[in-house]
Amino acid sequence: MLMAALLSGCTDKVIVLDPKGPIGEAQKDLIYLSTILCLIVIVPVLLLTAWVVWRYRDKPGRKAAYKPEWEHNTKLEIIWWTIPILIIIALGTVTVKYTYALEPSKPIESEKEPVTIQVTSLDWKWLFKYPDEGIATVNYVNIPEDVPIRFQLTSETAMNSFWIPQLGGQIYTMSGMAMTLYLQADEPGTYYGSGANFTGEHFAKMTFDVNAMPQEEYDEWVKQAKASGNPLTEEGYEQLKIPGTTGTHTFSSFPKGLFEKVVNQYAVGGSAHRHHGAAPGGESESRKEDAGAKGEHAHTPAASPSPSGGSHHAGH
Amino acid sequence: MLNDLKDFLLNDFFVTGDPLILGSQVAIALSIVAIVFVLTYFKKWKWLWTEWLTTVDHKRIGIMYIIASLLMLFRGGVDALLMRVQLAAPQLEFLHADHYNQIFTTHGVIMILFMAMPLMFGLFNIVLPLQIGARDVAYPFLNALSFWLFFWGAMLFNVSFVIGGSPDTGWLAYPPLSGLQLSPGVGQDFYIWGIQISGIGSLATGINFVATILKMRAPGMKLMDMPMFAWSVLASCVTIMFAFPILTVTLFLLFLDRYLGAHFFTLDAGGNPMMYINLIWMWGHPEVYIVILPAFGIFSEVVSTFARKKLFGYKSMVFALMSISVASFFTWAHHFFTMGSGANVNAFFAITTMIIAIPTGVKVFNWLFTMFRGRITFSTPMLWTIAFIPCFVIGGMTGVLLSVAPADFQFHNSYFLIAHFHQVLIGGVVFGYFAGLYYWWPKLFGFKLHEGLGKWAFWFWNIGFYVCFMPQYVLGLMGMTRRFNEYDFDMGWQPLNIVSTVGAFLMGIAFIFQVWQIAHSIKFLKKEKTGDAWDGRTLEWSIPSPPPVYNFARLPQVSGRDPWWEEKQRIARGEQPSPLPPLEPIHMPKNSGIPFIMSFFWFVAGFGFVWDWKWMIIPGLAGVVICMLIRSFSYDTDYYISVEEIERTEAKLRGAY
């Protein structure tokens, strides 16, 4: 049944088995390899089950042996303790090897310098920042093909999981932490990405496109984005944080160190950290809000250098 | 003032504005009225109180557990069907996002904690004392308390559906999403208190049954002579004893975070959500073994009975059960390989997870070789067992695939995972408990369930299962993640989702067949008079069905395994049955209303905590304390059944032979 399902999976919609990058490729190989190792055990077991049930069914005139007292055979039992142990040793060895090889924070070997993209999951949208290029996007991400991408991930809210199946497996975005995930696209194309971990009401809307393109095209896009004159300001970021959904956006710049600030906001002595006791009055009427844990109310949007930026990408 | 109250009732207290929920509210109100009317009209209030609500008899408690769990199966199943309807087509607007989120949360919690657990406890209660030749569990009063704590906890959880709103953060409620800031509503508090109250009951049951198995076995029954089901109960209950305190503490810390503004799981002031995720899975992973181990025990009993052959590899089976119970505590981090623990941690937990497959595989071989050279008949309990083997083998295989940490980066949170755990939980736990329910039903009620309707239910369940969940493996590989309430047309997910929905409805039809089967069997009652409906092997089949309140008029003398089978063999060979010792008065526990009342006070306190109503919390907790004090100072808790009464009862029950 599963075999059939996997075989029928050779269409382009089964994206996990249709990878477009080295990480996804290795994971696909591992999926196939571990499936085959498992099938070595379970196919004979399934056949044996069918045979035993058929052969020893009760019916008049049956010729099969009946030994109601036969309850133990050391040799047989040693055999079926040994078989799964051997398979698990084999599978375990492969797994450990791949676990180290595919550790998500391990750089992908390449002659090219990796591109760093800082990913922040918000309610309910994705913010991508390109610290080296100084640009940012919302709900889509462009990458050059054949270049390792170093995703740094964090969350401004509940934990999400950043997943682009055709490039490789997912990793969680968690507030107060920066995770690293290396991925690479080997060919141009638009790949589906999603937030794979539930984050509340409109979590299903947190899908995004990953556009892999040739280097020149990518450079051209960066240039255009920079020239678009639509900066993400501190104020704009505060707007973006408001729970809601939004379309795609491109920003020509973003406040320096924004990602680090988001990651470090909870660190003791961190720049943006203040206790919830400092929450301004009036906003919190019930105990529910009063005990608000993260002290979000305490943030006053820092004076924004550009007051015009944040209006059109507010949450809806 | 009056307007404030009206405002509160309509906006916060009652869930309003959704026709589905309005319908349920009306249905609930009507059902309550109907129940009250029937009880009053037939003058059954006293009967209900003295025979059921105050009972400490393990058999009756077991029956109440089973009724409650079947109701919860219905509720959780309706949740599942609603979800499947919503997912049948892209961009469907059948359920709003927030409603969908509540439904998958309650579906998960109810199916695991309020369906699987009580069904399991019901079977423990009914079967275990009978199998080991005991007259009750070690602590009958505590047993009743466990049930009522579960019952009122479940009520508290379920009431959130119509009052205040259901929890909507997933069945394990990860912070920070489940924290106050992101979930300010009362749903999450219903979650905490509903589970907390029933969880105390579960822990007490675990302790109770470990004590029962260790101290109450019939004279002569060694541990290594126990039926395999008794071993599986022991393995499960030992796991409960170590796992459930973790749940209690974790939920309590989450409560402190939400109620008092503590920071155990919020990043402010040095807390960390990762601590919650580790703790909840340190309970959560053993929890799935808690529910699957007894199913293994049931399969062992059923296979042996219906292959008419001794269980193959008894010692291997015992070792496998106990080693799974221990190993289940060392695998929890495989639920979050993708949270960046690093290669060392991931490698360790991948290996420990795979190791569990070894004893599990061995058990499958032992069941197969119990059937090998046996003489298999296909009554409904056996059908479920035979269907279980391929289903669980495939589900186990996908579990091993998930344990391959680097591959799990692609499976995690996807429908591949959903398909896997439904396959082991339905194909393993549900099939197992159904097998057990069909198998022990005649012992419980004195009549068999209609086999023909049972077979219809069986086929609908099985076909429905594969139609529903096999497509979900592929959907996972197509990138569909769990908990999506909608998806876009261009993903190509629709055809398989429709198939999956059809499968879910086939299982719904199967459930209707089961209800029909029970109703039909009650109506055309065919008394099962021998007490030994399936030509059984263990002690529970040596007494009348349903058993008298004291179970065994004389405690059986046991030597070796399958004592009842051996006895029957001896009689068949023409040997004299062993001489019976004289009857003696039997020491029994008295009924008590305290478990019911005390658990109700827990419900009151829990409801008060949910709404932060001190005027309700204080009397609730005070009631609990007062009940404890009353119980501590009551000494009239037991009585003796006289020899004459035993003789009368036995003559009546056995005279019918």
pLDDT in tens, B85-111: 999 999 888 998 999 999 999 999 999
Q: Which of B177, B263, B375 sits opposite A66 (nearest CB)?
A: B375
End-to-end CA distance of chain B: 70
Phi, psi for residue B94 in degrees, rounded to 5:
-75, -50
Enumerate the residues of chain A whose CB falls inside 8 A of the CB of residue B274: 174
List of chain A residues whose C-beta atoms are within 8 Å of the C-beta of residue B404: 30-31, 34, 91, 94-95, 98
Q: Are A2 and B394 in contact (CB under 8 A)?
A: yes
Q: Within an 8 Å CB–CB cutoff, is residue A5 touching chain B?
A: yes
C-alpha to C-alpha distance for A189 and A166, rounded to whole angstroms: 10
Among B511, B513, B512, B560, smallest CA distance to B537 is for B560
State whether the Cα torsion A299-A300-A305-A309 is positive or negative. positive
* Cβ–Cβ below 8 Å for B414 and A196: yes
Q: For residue B611, is the peptide bond before it cis, meaning its omega torsion is within 30 degrees of 0?
A: no
Shortest Cα distance, chain A CAs vs residue B308, angstroms: 6
Which chain A residues are within 8 Å of B313, Cβ to Cβ? Answer: 71-73, 77
Number of residues in chain B: 657
- For β-strands A149-155 and A135-138, DSSP reports them as unpaired
H or E element at residue B423 = helix B415-424
Please name the helix (run of DSSP H) or strand (run of DSSP E) that holds residue B639, with its range, or none. Answer: strand B638-641
Average pLDDT score over residue span A227-241: 95
3-state SS string for chain A? CHHHHHHCCCCCCCHHHCCCCHHHHHHHHHHHHHHHHHHHHHHHHHHHHHHHHHHCECCCCCCCCCCCCCCCCHHHHHHHHHHHHHHHHHHHHHHHHHHHHCCCCCCCCCCCCCEEEEEEEECCEEEEEECCCCEEEECEEEEECCCCEEEEEEECCCCEEEEECCCEEEEEECCCCCEEEEECCCCCEEEEEEECCCCCCCHHHCEEEEEEECHHHHHHHHHHHHHCCCCCCHHHHHHHHCCCCCCCEEECCCCCCHHHHHHHCCCCCCCCCCCHHHCCCCCCCCHHHHCCCCCHHHCCCCCCCCCCCCCCCCCC
Whose structure tokens read 């470090």? A264
Structure tokens at B26: 């009306």
Instruction: State the Cα–Cα distance between residues B185 and B175, nearest whole angstrom.
Output: 14
Taking CB atoms and an 8 Å cutoff, what residues of chain B touch A263? none
Task: Give the mean pLDDT of chain A.
Answer: 84
Distance to chain A for B52, nearest Cα, Å: 40
281-340 of B, contacting A, C-beta below 8 A: 307-316, 336, 338-340
Q: Above 90 in pLDDT, residue A262?
A: yes
pTM of the model: 0.92
Name the A residues in 254-293 with CB < 8 Å from any B CB: 266, 268, 273, 275-276, 286-293
The Cα B420–Cα B469 span in angstroms is: 8
Q: What is the pLDDT of residues B192-238, one digit of tens each?
A: 999 999 999 999 999 999 999 999 999 999 999 999 999 999 999 99
3-state secondary structure of B180: coil
Chain A 124-163, residues with CB within 8 Å of chain B CB atoms: 157-159, 161, 163
> What tens digit of pLDDT does each residue of B447-501 get?
999 999 999 999 999 999 999 999 999 999 999 999 999 999 888 999 999 999 9
Q: In the structure, what pLDDT confidence band is assigned to residue A63 with cuts at 50, 70 and 90?
A: confident
DSSP B471-522: HHHHHHHTTPBTT-S---GGG--HHHHHHHHHHHHHHHHHHHHHHHHHHHHH
Instruction: Give the closest of A39, A52, A200 to B182, CB-based.
Output: A200
Question: What's the sign of the alpha-carbon dihedral A123, A124, A125, A126?
Answer: positive
User: Is A194's CB within 8 Å of B267's CB?
Assistant: no
Cα→Cα distances B205→B71, B131, B139, B241, Å: 21, 17, 9, 9
Provide the shortest C-alpha distance from residue B207 to chain A (in Å): 32
Q: Is A67 on the interface with B (CB under 8 A)?
A: yes
The answer to whether B413 and A197 are in contact (CB under 8 A) is yes
Distance CA A256, CA B563 (A): 78
Pairwise CA distance, residues A96 & A101, whole Å: 9
* Residue A300 pLDDT class (50, 70, 90 cuts): very low
Q: Does residue B263 belong to the interface with chain A, where contact is any CB pair within 8 Å?
A: yes
Which residues of B are less than 8 Å from A65 in CB distance? 373
Q: Across the interface, which of B267, B371, B466 has its CB nearest the CB of A294? A: B267
* Integer Cα distance of B161 and B106 in angstroms: 9
On chain A, the residues whose CB falls within 8 A of the CB of B378 are 57
Closest Cβ–Cβ partner in A99, A159, A170 for B346: A99
Asked if residue B239 has pLDDT above 80, the reply is yes
Which has more confidence, B56 or B162? B56
Round to whole Å and give the CA distance between B11 and B414: 36
A-B Cβ pairs (cutoff 8 Å, strict): 313
CB B194 within 8 A of CB B231: no
Q: Is A282 left (phi over 0), alpha (psi -120 to 50) or beta?
A: left
- Mark yes or no for CB contact B375/A56 under 8 Å: yes
Q: Measure the CA–CA gap between B245 and B200, rounded to whole angstroms.
A: 8
B428: pLDDT strictly greater than 50: yes
> Of A34, A41, A56, which has the smallest distance from its Cβ to B407's Cβ?
A34
On whether the CB atoms of residues A189 and A221 are closer than 8 A, the answer is no
Please, what is the average pLDDT of chain B?
94
Q: Which alpha helices (H) appear in B216-313, and where do they start and end?
A: 228-260, 273-306
Chain B interface includes A58 (CB < 8 A): yes
Q: Using a CB-CB distance cutoff of 8 angstroms, which residues of chain A are in contact with residue B406?
A: 26-27, 30, 95, 98-99, 101-102, 169
Amino acid at B391: C
- Inter-chain touch A68–B474, beta carbons under 8 Å: no
CA dist list (Å): A303 to A235, A273, A306, A312, B626: 8, 17, 9, 19, 59
CA distance B62 to chain A (A): 32
Cβ atoms of B426 and B116 within 8 Å: the answer is no
**Residues of A whose CB is below 8 A from B465:** none
CA distance A202 to B465: 29
Question: CA-CA distance, B111 to B118, in Å (whole number)?
Answer: 10
CB contact under 8 A, B273 and A174: yes
* B307, B300 contact by CB (below 8 A): no
With cut-offs at 50, 70 and 90, classify the pLDDT of residue A103.
very high
Q: Say whether pLDDT at A292 is over 50.
A: no
Q: Angle at the Cα of B174 (from B170 to B178), degrees rounded to 5?
A: 80
- B339 closest CB neighbour out of A5, A163, A172: A172
pLDDT at A309: 35
Chain B segment 597-656 residues within 8 A of A by beta carbon are 612
- State both tokens at A294: 């993260």
Distance, first Cα to last Cα, chain A: 45
User: What whole-number distance in Å separates Cα of residue A299 and Cα of residue A276?
Assistant: 10
How do residues B524-538 score in pLDDT, each as one tens digit?
A: 888 888 899 999 999
Band of residue B415 on the pLDDT scale cut at 50, 70, 90:
very high
Query: In this complex, do B406 and A101 lie within 8 Å of one another by their Cβ atoms?
Result: yes
Residues of chain B positioned with their CB less than 8 A from the CB of A38: 397, 400-401
Work out the percent of chain A whose per-residue pLDDT is above 90.
74
The answer to whether B397 contacts A287, with C-beta atoms less than 8 Å apart, is no
User: What's the token pair of residue B198?
Assistant: 């029933």
Contact (CB, 8 A) for B585 and B635: no
Give the CB-side neighbour count of residue A269, counting CA atoms within 13 A: 0
CA distance A227 to chain B (A): 33
* B180/A192 touch (CB, cutoff 8 Å), yes or no: no
Q: Examine the pLDDT at B578 and tell me if it is beyond 90.
A: no
User: Does the structure show a pLDDT above 90 at A5?
Assistant: no
A88, A167, A192, best to mutate vs chain B, most B CBs in 10 Å? A88
Q: Among B308, B390, B412, whose Cβ lies nearest the Cβ of A170?
A: B412
Residues 6+ away with beta carbon under 8 Å from B632:
none
What is the widest separation between alpha-carbon atoms in chain A? Answer: 93
CA distances (Å), origin A113, targets A107, A164, A189, B340, B393: 10, 21, 21, 23, 46
- Per-residue pLDDT, B525: 83
pLDDT in tens, A168-224: 999 999 999 999 999 999 999 999 999 999 999 999 999 999 999 999 999 999 999
**Structure-token pair, residue B155:** 């009520």
Residue B278 and residue B618: Cα distance in Å, rounded?
A: 33
Share of chain B above pLDDT 90, in %: 86
Provide the chain B residues 370-399 that lie in CB contact (below 8 A) with chain A. 371-378, 386, 389-390, 393-394, 396-398
What are the two backbone dihedrals, phi and then psi, of residue A18, each rounded to the nearest 5 degrees?
-130, 60
Q: Which of A288-292, B273-277, B601-605, B610-614 has the lowest mean pLDDT?
A: A288-292
pLDDT for B269 equals 80
**CA separation for the pair B471, B266 (Å, rounded):** 38
Give dist(CA A124, CA A241) in Å, integer.
9
Strands A140-144 and A135-138: unpaired
**Residue from the list A38, A102, A204 with its beta carbon closest to the beta carbon of B397:** A38
Residue B48 near chain A (CB below 8 Å): no
Closest-approach residue (CA) in chain B for A8: B474
Q: Return residues 133-192 of B near A (CB < 8 Å).
A: 168-170, 174, 176-177, 179-185
